[in-house]
Homo-oligomer: A and B are copies of this chain.
Amino acid sequence: METIVVALGERSYPIHVGPGLLGNAALYGLKAKQLLVVTNDVVAPLYLERVQAALAGHEVATVVLPDGERQKTLTTFATIVDRLVDARFHRDSCLVALGGGVIGDLTGYVAASYQRGIDFVQIPTTLLAQVDSSVGGKTAVNHTRAKNMIGAFHQPIAVLADTDTLRSLPPRELAAGLAEIIKYGIIVDAQFFAWLEEHIDELMALDAATLTYAIRRSCEIKASIVAEDERERGRRALLNLGHTFGHALEALGNYERWLHGEAVSIGTMLAARTSLALGWLDAGDCERIEKLLKRGGLPTRATGVAADELLDAMRGDKKADRDGLKLVLVEALGRAVVARAPAEATLRGVLAAELE
């Protein structure tokens, strides 16, 4: 097991990475007696029993939601709050999020809001959640017209990234997690990117040591950026490489066509191509990015999407301000920057060429 600490003063917390963590009660860091485990109907049959065994001695209630992004709404949020009120959960109780990003984001936002904030523990069971959504305290639910529009910054008290849970993950979801891992290399760590080029096949084969290293390094990078800029006033925005394009694609695909990581993969390529068109990134690096994403089993192009509809969908992005859209662009492997989007004609040109 490896442990990374997210250094945020009194809100600091550990991320534990490795096999066999679910059953280790000490890692949960619990002071609370009243616990509510929130999970879904895919994860519950696989891991809920093990978690409940680890929590023996506490008063444990459980909410099992249907699987899927459709649950990440204010309506489901209200349902969980009802459960907490009905069971008279106190301010010193704790939530446990057992599942992927949807469960983590939703449960985290309930924890942020119930009685103005109670503790919660993240147990991410997808690669995407282990390397991204469970780290850094971003919680949210979706609005019908925009993802993650309603939320809070609320840090968990501990994160347990149990690599054993990845064995039950469908290959498409594994690839979706790889998209975020590759992103860390592109934005700040060219060496890690090169390491990924060497080890991508072992990762895809779920080699335990390789997996643990890749998750640890991803969490380290994210933790250090979050520690510097918890509320995304500056540097943290780098983590959104590919996400402005990606969120817009997800919306256009009705949140069904692409998984988040797949949309981020396509978005990362669009950011890379835009950087290339601006003369910031050289063609060789651009190709290395595309090749690694493809080897990770990820899509790099969005067929059947018109440049104009994508541009329009992007304008509602959270990173837009009154002066217009901002994008994360790439100057070189390991060096991304937040920049004003280029002139619309330039951007439309890149998109038209890419989207076909």
Contacts and interface: CB of A to CB of B under 8 A. Distances in A.
Contacts of A82: 143
A112 B152 contact: yes
Given A90-B320, A321-B92, A322-B33, A117 B81 contact: no
A193 to B, nearest CB: 29
Nearest to A138: B116
A348 interface: no
Contacts of A112: 152
A114 interface: yes
Interface string A186-212: 000000000000000000000000000
A315 interface: yes
B113 A151 contact: yes
Q: Is the interface of A mostly helix, strand, loop or mixed?
A: mixed
Contact of A231 (B93, B117, B140, B148): B117
9 contacts: A32-B322, A34-B322, A85-B146, A91-B319, A93-B322, A113-B152, A115-B151, A116-B140, A116-B151
A115 B318 contact: yes
A74 interface: yes
Contacts of A32: 322
A113 B145 CA distance: 16
Nearest to A82: B143
A306 interface: no
Given A88-B316, A115-B318, A116-B140, 10 more contacts: A32-B322, A33-B322, A74-B74, A85-B143, A88-B315, A92-B321, A92-B322, A116-B152, A116-B153, A117-B152
A149 B85 contact: yes
Contact residue range for chain A? 35 or more
Contacts of A318: 90-91, 115
Contacts of A92: 321-322
A53 interface: no
A150 interface: yes
A78 interface: yes
B114 A321 contact: no
Nearest to A320: B90
B113 A150 contact: yes
Nearest to A91: B318
A113 B153 CA distance: 9
A321 B90 contact: yes
Interface string A80-97: 011001101011110000
B78 A145 contact: no
Interface in A120-154: 138-140, 143, 145-146, 148-153
Contacts of A152: 112-113, 116-117, 152
Nearest to A93: B322
Contacts of A114: 149-150
A116 B152 CA distance: 4
